[in-house]
Amino acid sequence: MTFELYPAVDILGGQAVRLVQGDFEQKTVYGAPEAAAEAFIARGARWLHVVDLDGARSGRPVNVGPIAAIVRRAAARGVRVQVGGGLRTLEDIRRVLALGVARVIVGTAAIEAPDVLATAVREAGEAVAVGVDLRENRVAVRGWAETKDAAAEDVLRRIAAAGVRTVIVTDIRRDGTLAGVDADRMASLARASGLRVIASGGVRSVDDVRRLSARLRDGVVGAVIGKALYAGTLDLAAALQAAAEADPAVGEEAGEEEDGR
């Protein structure tokens, strides 16, 4: 296993933005999304994490043009892209996959329309991941506007049963806050579900990357990094180096210590 970093490009109104805890009223605009993506690629990113925030609110892809442009630029440099936001029908999932993305992220549909998820997984296999957005251990859907009365562990087990291998787990209370990560919680969710977890929310520093990558053996296989890169609290090259040094055995030892407490 390897630990991957996913610099984030969130698109709202055709601009790259960062929100605080998913609040559309608390946004910072950073210019053209293509420029943000290009900057990450130039600094060594191997993956990009692109979210259509307008799509998440409306329930259908909206920023297809900018996403397609990012995918073309990334492909020319050998960089892979995962895309989420508003993918609630098979038609829209297929449409975004057709852009050449490496992975689509299904969120609300995975909770509310499991048949859509199951069919998408049958058609595209590991190119389909699920986004699980957590607010106090409950799953938020529809652009984080609604919270379901469903515990994270139960939802993750159902997702695994549908054949999904990878989930992006976002800690909403930490997202966009630079508050640091809860690596133990991410590792616990990965072990409980058997899924590969990409952690999102709160990454501030290289130490946060190391905390998460130390849980690689538990199944924490990556981290989405957003605000820290835009605000300059984290250097992407240093973060990539820390990720490259991840040792699965370290995570195994950490897990053994936790189990022994």
- What are the residues facing 104 on neighbouring strands? 83, 128
Is 154 catalytic? The answer is no
Among 10, 52, 92, 171, the one annotated catalytic: 10
Is 208 catalytic? The answer is no
Query: The tokens of 49 are what?
Result: 């994490």
- Residue 140 burial (10 A CB sphere; 0-12, 13-18, 19+): buried
CB 8 within 8 A of CB 41: no
Query: The tokens of 56 are what?
Result: 């998440």
Among 52, 92, 133, 208, the one annotated catalytic: 133
Straight-line distance from the first to the last Cα atom of the chain, in angstroms, rounded to the nearest whole number: 27
Query: The tokens of 54 are what?
Result: 């307008």
Phi, psi of 81 (to 5 degrees): -130, 135
- What are the residues facing 9 on neighbouring strands? 50
Query: The tokens of 73 are what?
Result: 């630029």
Active site residues: 10, 133
